[in-house]
A and B are shown apart, each in its own frame.
Chain A
Amino acid sequence: MTSESGADPTPEILGEYRGKWVAVLHGVVVASGGRAIEVLRAMDRDHPNEKPQIYRVPSGEVMLL
């Protein structure tokens, strides 16, 4: 998936963050955490003028929502 802030990190890099929330800017993970709100607040603090994509990385967990 590509986006305004650049291409995805590779699956191998995202695998290092499985189950975590990440902020991706220009294809690079610039923040991560276990909770979305901590990543959102970190981006407001550290990159207030950027528009990263912030999402949770799949973790291989079995899901039936």
Chain B
Amino acid sequence: MSPPAERREGRRRHAAHFYGYTRAKWGNVEDKLPMIPVVLSWQGRGFRTRMLLDTGATSTFLIPDIAEYLGLPVTGEPTEAHGAGRAFLVRDAEVELQLEVGHEFGGQAEIHRVAVKVPTEADAIPFPVLGRKPFFGWYEVVIREQSEEIVLRRVYH
């Protein structure tokens, strides 16, 4: 059974389909990762980047260099975050995050103020990470590894 026409239209209007992989190749080796293009900013200072889409991460993480560059207030006592190999310490911050595929949802891309974790060690994580909270609460996410396509469908509560 198909959904009502207006619902189908609504779903189409609020879905973004885009090529969402970053690929590098050297010799016979190739690596590719699902990464989402975003603008990160704070109080008028910002830059365009890509964040690793990590379905296994419970939170959203920035690397310390980014927090330093944006001048993010990093607060709270360090707490442990448990990576697969080891635990590392993180502190809390907030950042403004805007998807660069947002125009596909109609109008100007939304700017979200997001709670993030920032490791205390520079090399604790290799990439800024879009994790489950809050990203997967905003979007229904489809990752198509073979066609290297990502589909984001806005969820309105």
A residues in contact (CB < 8 Å) with B: 1-5, 8, 11-12, 14-18, 35-37, 40-41, 43, 51-61, 63-65
Contacts and interface: CB of A to CB of B under 8 A. Distances in A.
Contacts of B29: 15, 60
21 contacts: A5-B48, A11-B23, A11-B24, A14-B22, A14-B24, A15-B25, A35-B122, A36-B66, A40-B65, A43-B47, A51-B47, A54-B49, A55-B22, A55-B50, A57-B22, A58-B31, A59-B31, A63-B126, A65-B56, A65-B57, A65-B129
A49 to B, nearest CB: 13
A48 B129 CA distance: 26
Interface of B: 18-26, 29-33, 35, 37, 47-50, 52, 54, 56-57, 63, 65-66, 68-69, 83-85, 100, 122, 125-127, 129
Nearest to A60: B31
Interface of B is mostly: strand
A30 to B, nearest CB: 13
Classify the interface of chain A: helix, strand, loop or mixed. Answer: loop
A60 B35 CA distance: 15
B100 A58 contact: no
Contacts of A52: 47-48
A36 B65 contact: yes
Given A37-B68, A55-B35, 4 more contacts: A1-B18, A18-B31, A40-B69, A64-B83
A47 to B, nearest CB: 11
A63 B29 CA distance: 16
Given A15-B25, A16-B26, A65-B83, A53 B50 contact: yes
Contacts of A1: 18-22, 35, 37, 50
Contact of B65 (A17, A18, A37, A63): A37
Contacts of B47: 40, 43, 51-52, 54
A58 B65 contact: no
Instruction: Select the residue from A2, A60, A61 with max chain B CB neighbours within 10 A.
Output: A60
